[in-house]
């Protein structure tokens, strides 16, 4: 899985990124919007791979704050946002809040 594949999902609309109910709750609880997710994907890069089908993306939200997203590839057509969070682990992320 590459960043270009994830960006293509947003640009073409031919595939989809699924946001589960737990992740939706976490988005609201942490003050993030769908726009923040899009901004993070377009500004970010993969900083960690968790197995063959899951990546950690570090980017910037629409207010230019650091943000981390975990995305899993479910199939050739579908991705799932596992979680979204502020980066707080200095050992894993260059920019932390």
Q: Which of 38, 39, 55 is nearest to 47 (CA)?
A: 55
Specify whether the CB–CB gap between 33 and 52 falls below 8 A: no
pLDDT digits (tens, 9 = 90+) for 62-87: 999 999 999 999 987 789 999 999 98
The domains of the chain, with CATH numbers, are 3-85 (3.10.450.530)
pLDDT digits (tens, 9 = 90+) for 7-27: 988 888 777 888 988 888 888
Mapped onto helix, strand or coil, the DSSP state of residue 67 is strand
């Amino acid at each position: 899985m590459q960043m270009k594949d994830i960006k293509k999902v947003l640009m073409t609309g031919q595939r989809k990124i699924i946001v589960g109910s737990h992740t939706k709750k976490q988005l609201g609880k942490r003050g993030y919007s769908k726009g923040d997710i899009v901004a993070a994907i377009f500004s970010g890069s993969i900083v960690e791979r968790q197995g063959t089908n899951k990546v950690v993306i570090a980017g910037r939200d629409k207010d230019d704050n650091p943000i981390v997203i975990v995305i899993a590839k479910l199939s050739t057509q579908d991705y799932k946002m596992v979680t979204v969070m502020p980066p707080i682990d200095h050992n894993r992320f260059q920019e932390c809040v």
